[in-house]
Chain A
Amino acid sequence: MTDLTRLTAVQTAAAIAARDTTATEVAQAHLDRIAKVDGQLHAFLHVDAEGALETARRVDAGEITGPLAGVPLALKDVIVQKGVPTTVGSRILEGWRPPYDATVVERLKAAGVVILGKTNMDEFAMGSSTEHSAYGPTHNPWDLDRIPGGSGGGSSAAVASFESPLAIGTDTGGSIRQPAAVTGTVGVKPTYGGVSRYGLVAFSSSLDQAGPCARTVLDAALLHEVIAGHDPRDSTSIPAPVPPVVEAARQADISGMTIGVVKELSGEGYQPGVEQRFAEAVETLTGLGAKVVEVSCPHFAYALPAYYLIAPSEASSNLARFDSVRYGLRVGDDGERGLEEVMSLTRAQGFGAEVKRRIILGTYALSSGYYDAYYGQAQKVRSLITRDFTEAFAMADVLVSPAAPTVAFPLGEKLSDPLAMYRQDLATIPSNLYGGPAMSLPCGLADGLPVGLQIMAPTMRDELLYRVGAAFEAAMPAPVPPLDWEA
């Protein structure tokens, strides 16, 4: 009998539809696998076996049908699901069960997707290694001593290790794409406004975007189509049809397309092995019939500084609501202390070091006297980066670069050096600032570890990512981790 956990989402859905298997068997197989390997990986913060089996039962009863009905999925713990613990990787929300569903969750449920549980992440999505989770790090299935990327390391590790064929991540500065790159999976940040943020616990409102994680480009496209589309509950949701991503993934033809290599996303900070795999990937794209040109985006050099002003500023405000009054942790309420002290103690103990660092940084950048020099200037740089993209897209249909500057690094290596950690997002941040869609997909190994190819497209042209990604994947399928650590 085939191992149900090794199937792609497309294969799983087809097998269930053809009654070769049942959604319940599929769900149970994945729950069993999680039970077997997650002790070593720690990709999940909460497994909802009961909820997963209930959805599977409804699919088997024919109550829900659709292209992903019965396919398991792992949900990043930054997205609220009614009645299921949501921590955002933080102590401050420990034990909180949301009284409502995120729009993304509503759509997954309506599509019959089987939500297995909530995945580990850097606290409040702040980090690039999942080591900033208050509940301990996730391990990379390629090498348990290495990071799975972040902030969505749990989602990508779950997909790479066959705990789930699909996962949802969120990407504020690269939190879907960098984990995808270092775990050898596919991760897509859709166009900002393409997927509703309603129910996504905010880190940086103007940058956050949820998107699909999968082992194949087509699987990602199917999930993209389920979660995307206009939502009147999110004022920044784009009222336009979802780009034809599934059709593009099936088309997988790039002959005649022009692909721009971004000059600024290479060189200093990029590992030689990564640059080598990237150069080969560009050759592959040429071989598939694309015309490759070099483009220059001079303001990308300022993307990282702009991001590290904008995101912490918005975060300092977004995280103010965690104050011990309406939900979450409360510390030091002894009947003597006043509210302000209880709030301050709660926040000091409930938030980890990285979150506090960014709150202080954001509070500083927004304070009067510094606003213009920091937050205001960063917003202007954002305009210039957008101008760079617009000019580049006048020359090329899509842009490419390495998705992450390095392969997965050892756990603990960058924990004491915030700046080194921040540089993991060098290549991914520009798309967040601009708002356009971007994908990371595997392009081989360096030192036995996965390297990611990043594809960037103009806003609301998400289908271009899938067209190029699927063509590339056909020529160069994703590597499979040896999983030699499995008991």
Chain B
Amino acid sequence: MTVPYVEALQEFEPVIGLETHVELGTASKMFCGCDTTFGAAPNTHTCPVCLGLPGALPVVNEAAIASTIRIGLALHCDIATWCRFARKNYFYPDMPKNFQTSQYDEPLCTDGYLDVEVDGETVRIPIERVHLEEDTGKSLHVGGSTGRIHGATHSLVDYNRAGIPLVEIVTKPVTGTKAKPAEVAKAYVTELRDVLRGLGVSDVRMEQGSLRCDVNVSLNKPGAEWGTRSETKNVNSLRSVERAVRSEVERQAARLRAGERIVQETRHFHEDTGLSTSGRSKEEATDYRYFPEPDLVPVAPDAAWVASLKAALPEAPSSRRRRLIEQLALSTLDAEAMTNAGVLDLVLATVDAGAPAAEARNWWLGHLAQSANSRGSEPSELPITPVQVARVVELVADGSLTAGLARQVVDGVLAGEGEPDDVVESRGLAVVSDEGALTTAVDEAIAANSDAADKIRAGKVQAVGALVGAVMKATRGQADASVVRRLLLERLGVRE
């Protein structure tokens, strides 16, 4: 059925391609003034334009054009001096007009690249185009199993997402990834996400669908022509990007080895199994009947405007990374460990937010890495920000939290309970620093453990540990252990 990844890549050469869709973080939609905020009640962010009501007309959002140009510039693209939107015609209930306003043969940005690092080696990913289009609505499939379209009795459509500006970034075919097409694909999407985040153009949350990937893979015998490619859709996490390439390499290698032909097709990736299933075959591909959108006029970005956008670009994540590693005097080994764990940028961002490097490193390589692992996701996909981590570090530093409490606060943030301070408040996690309250607990502990207390009075100071434990237990971990210890010794009249 499949050929193991490593073995497959000894026999075949991979060619990969990635199409990434990014929802821009504009306040309003691409062609109307509706709010883009995620998570609103269904169909409350809709108007005549984004519902495709008869008579309604689109008007381009200037901020979306600016963001797209900035993305193009960050990816070293040429920016069009004149381009148009086009209509891509096909019927689908998520799409109110039954055409998508997109760009076709006149994209805003063309011909760029992005350098990514894989195991210390730089791979240059060529970018074909960056264009702007509109997102579709979202269907809920009812009556089938686990919300799948198959077996559903009907579907329910919400158009809140319809019309949100969507940037499509398409690579040229990437060759020469040798034994690491899956790793390169993941590194590319990760780096692209960091670039987009640095630009501030999108919140790039794969789990919310604001960053989505389609992955193209083909295999060929060394020296032979490129093989037929498949296109895997719905790849919605970094780990899945890697898994999708890997499973497709394994599947295609098996078919080719068996002398079978690869069908040019669309495949759907399933997060649960990590496998893809065959979808629509491209041989019956619909004819999109593209033509220039007659309801819009051309976009001709002024050279001076583009130059000013270029001048205001933030530092690229890769160079920022190099600079900070130097500044923080991280060892190469340390930096590599963090890179491999996918936390380097997070550590750096946490430092940027005010945390000492060592603390930031410990959190991201320790408790947070474990949390990510147990969730089966990447640390960067955790619902906690470097700013929030830095705040927790600060709370520990000023004595408001103990290390144990800090972990509980972080878990609270991860569970969606709000900001660290909210969690401290709602869970009642502040360190008990009221010595009056502690004294009661201390006295109770002494009374309940009179044997141990006697030993301590007799000079066996190391026995105090058991009493400290009892007090900590009684205060549910909210006391500062060193304070408890001091109080215990004072009550027992022992000096160290």
Binding site for B on A (CB under 8 A): 79-80, 86, 88, 93, 96, 98-100, 102, 197-202, 204-206, 232-236, 313-314, 316-317, 320-323, 325-327, 335, 339-340, 343, 363, 366-368, 371, 375
Contacts and interface: CB of A to CB of B under 8 A. Distances in A.
Interface in B280-296: 287, 289-291, 294-296
Interface in B39-59: 48, 51-59
Nearest to B46: A326
Contact of A236 (B155, B291, B297): B297
Contacts of B357: none
A440 B466 CA distance: 103
Contacts of B317: none
22 contacts: A98-B48, A98-B54, A100-B53, A197-B57, A198-B55, A201-B55, A235-B59, A235-B60, A236-B294, A236-B295, A236-B296, A314-B291, A320-B97, A323-B91, A326-B51, A326-B52, A326-B53, A335-B153, A339-B93, A343-B91, A371-B289, A371-B291
Interface of A is mostly: loop
B57 A321 contact: no
B287 A232 contact: no
Instruction: Find the residue from A80, A232, A325, A326 having the highest chain B CB count within 10 A.
Output: A325
A343 B87 CA distance: 20
B175 interface: no
A86 B55 CA distance: 11
A102 B54 CA distance: 10
A454 B297 CA distance: 30
A321 B97 contact: yes
B274 interface: no
B42 to A, nearest CB: 13
A202 B55 contact: yes
Interface in B195-243: none
Contact of B296 (A235, A316, A375): A235
Nearest to A93: B54
Contacts of A205: 294-295
A361 to B, nearest CB: 13
Given A326-B96, A340-B91, 13 more contacts: A86-B54, A93-B54, A199-B55, A199-B56, A202-B295, A205-B295, A236-B295, A236-B297, A316-B289, A320-B89, A320-B97, A323-B98, A326-B53
A317 B291 contact: yes
B157 interface: yes
B294 to A, nearest CB: 4
Nearest to B49: A233
B367 to A, nearest CB: 48
B297 A235 contact: yes
Nearest to A343: B91
Nearest to B54: A201
Nearest to B59: A235
Contacts of B291: 313-314, 317, 366, 371, 375
A366 B57 contact: no
Contacts of B290: 366
A367 B287 contact: yes
Nearest to B33: A233
Contacts of B289: 316-317, 363, 366-368, 371
B93 to A, nearest CB: 5
A123 to B, nearest CB: 13
A233 to B, nearest CB: 6
**Nearest 6 interchain pairs by C-beta:** A320-B98, A366-B289, A205-B294, A206-B294, A201-B54, A199-B55
Contacts of B157: 325
Nearest to B60: A235
B93 A325 contact: yes
B160 to A, nearest CB: 14
A74 B491 CA distance: 96
